[in-house]
Amino acid sequence: MTFCLLTPELVKAIHDCVLNPGELQGRALNKSLEGALARVENRLAYGMIEDAFALAAAYAISIAQGHCFNDATKRTAHQSMDVCLDLNGIQIPWTVSEIGPVIIRAAQDLLDEGELAHWLRTHS
């Protein structure tokens, strides 16, 4: 199956859009956005991603746990997940109160990719 993938430039642009005034701009030192995104590409190469929900979940987890940005990492993870779904033909009408706790759990490693993908499938 062919998917539309996220590039580092797109994720950085997403980050810049979700950043609020007064928050720290830029990427965190010694953290690699490219490395976080390569994790997703490796999972694809090894057949560990079966659908767009799993792909979006992999991006969200990799970005949220990669802490590649100085601020707004969880919002970037959420919006990147949403953009990934949109690019792959899936729209989920969620609210902040629904998705916020899910992304926080993902960032804290309390929710794995499989669980997040399942959550996405049940909410689509």
Residue 116 pLDDT level (bands cut at 50, 70, 90): very high
CB count in 10 Å sphere of residue 100 = 14
Q: How many residues does the chain have?
A: 124
The answer, yes or no, to whether residue 31 has pLDDT greater than 90, is no
Domain ranges in the chain?
A: 8-122
Task: Check if the beta carbon of residue 77 is closer than 8 Å to that of residue 63.
Answer: yes
The terminus-to-terminus CA distance of the chain in angstroms comes to 20
pLDDT in tens, 62-86: 999 998 888 889 999 999 999 999 9
Confidence of residue 121 (pLDDT cuts 50, 70, 90): very high
* Contact between residue 69 and residue 16 where contact means Cβ atoms under 8 Å apart: no
Range list of β-strands (E), 42-95: none
Backbone angles phi, psi at 47, to 5 degrees: 70, 25
Scan for tokens 């929710």, then name that residue: 111
Please provide the average confidence, as pLDDT, over all residues in the chain.
93
CATH number of 8-122: 1.20.120.1870
Is the pLDDT score of 26 beyond 90? no
Q: What is the pLDDT of residue 29?
A: 65
